[in-house]
Amino acid sequence: MEKLEQFINVILATRKVWLLEAKEGFFAMMEDGNGDSYVPLWTSEELALKAAKGDWDGYTVTTMGFSELANWLKELANDEIDIAVSPEDEGEITAIPSAKFRNWLKPYDDHSYKEKDDEAGNDDDFDYGDGWAEPWSDQ
């Protein structure tokens, strides 16, 4: 649980996660021995770059802002895809259900993310400012 708490505190402070992207909108995925699917997320560009090898060789390291992440977690939960928190080279993961992760993050969502095809035609360029995130705790 310590790894998860550290992960959440970092993303609350930075308001972004790092992912590996095959092409726009298609992100790296993992599957366990039971057939359960996960999207791996990292707290830094360096950690994501380190993972971009093997099956993920040639993937691009990209970020996702906090508000977009909160929105995306709802879609992942509907598709029964969970989160793998900073997967290790040995294949060991700390997994968390997308719906539970979204519920933990919900109080921090500022609802600034808009889909690219929203009715106003807005893109996803946001300035969140500083200092609104508080450290996460599961208590």
96-115: per-residue pLDDT in tens?
999 998 888 777 777 666 65
* Least confident range of 16-30, 63-77, 125-139: 125-139
Residue type, 129: G
Q: What is the pLDDT of residue 118?
A: 47
User: Model confidence at 33, in pLDDT bands (50, 70, 90)?
Assistant: confident
Three-state secondary structure of the chain = CHHHHHHHHHHHHHCEEEEEEEECCEECCEECCCCCEEEEEECCHHHHHHHCCHHHCCCEEEEEEHHHHHHHHHHHHHCCEEEEECCCCCCCCEEECHHHHHHHHHHHCCCCCCCCCCCCCCCCCCCCCCCCCCCCCCC
Determine the pLDDT at residue 89: 66
Which pLDDT score is estimated for 23? 87
Domain boundaries, the chain: 2-104
Task: Please return the burial class of 67, using the count of CB atoms within 10 Å of its CB with bins 0-12, 13-18 and 19+.
Answer: buried
Is residue 104 within 8 A of residue 136, CB to CB? The reply is yes
**pLDDT (average), residues 78-103:** 86
Greater confidence, 53 or 122?
Answer: 53
Q: Which of 6-10, 30-34, 36-40, 130-134 has the lowest mean pLDDT?
A: 130-134
Highest CATH level, class, for 2-104: alpha beta
Q: Does pLDDT of 77 surpass 90?
A: yes
**Could you tell me if 122 and 113 are in contact, meaning their C-beta atoms sit under 8 angstroms apart?**
no
Distance of CA 75 to the CA centre of its chain: 12
Residue 127 confidence (pLDDT) above 80: no
pLDDT at 43 over 90: yes
Instruction: Enter the pTM of the model.
Output: 0.75
pLDDT at 132: 37
